[in-house]
Amino acid sequence: MNSAAFFFIAVLTLSAAVAAACLRQLVHAALSFAVALVGVAAFYFLLGAEFVGLVQVFVYVGAVAVLIVFTILLTRHGTDENRGFNWSGVVIALAVLAALLWAIMRTPALYVAAQPGVTVTVRQIGEALMSDYVWPLQCVGLLLTAALIGALVLVLEEKR
């Protein structure tokens, strides 16, 4: 694994995530969110899970980010969203971060060396999906259908 690429992707992802959480303009925040998710996909590529990285780009950047931008445009109103910022959330987030970092540093079993050349092929994923993961796959299909119908029902115009 290339350490320079890792460092670059880490800085890009985390700064884009901070921008997505803190920017005032909603559209800017949504675009920073898309950049952060591209960074996560780059991590997947770096870790040898190319297919998951591609799925991440397709689903998140291609669908979810576009959906968020559409929703922002549909729900935009005249006054700009310069509303308050809840500072207790910052305290809670920092506390959770400190606890997680403490737990990671205190676990010596995590310091294992990566074996070189580990990757997963699309063929392996397809065979796993069709053998061990058939029932989860069917359940996800059902869930996606239900979510699609539910989203349509929710945004239907109410008859008065």
Write down the least CB distance from residue 24 to other proteins, Å: 10
Distance of closest approach, residue 159 Cβ to other proteins, in angstroms: 13
HEC profile of the chain = CCHHHHHHHHHHHHHHHHHHHHCCCHHHHHHHHHHHHHHHHHHHHHCCCHHHHHHHHHHHHHHHHHHHHHHHHHCCCCCCCCCCCCHHHHHHHHHHHHHHHHHHHCCHHHCCCCCCCCCCCHHHHHHHHHCCCHHHHHHHHHHHHHHHHHHHHHHCCCCC
**Shortest Cβ 112–other proteins spacing (Å):** 6
Shorter beta-carbon distance to other proteins: residue 75 or 159: 75
Tell the smallest beta-carbon distance from residue 27 to other proteins (Å): 10
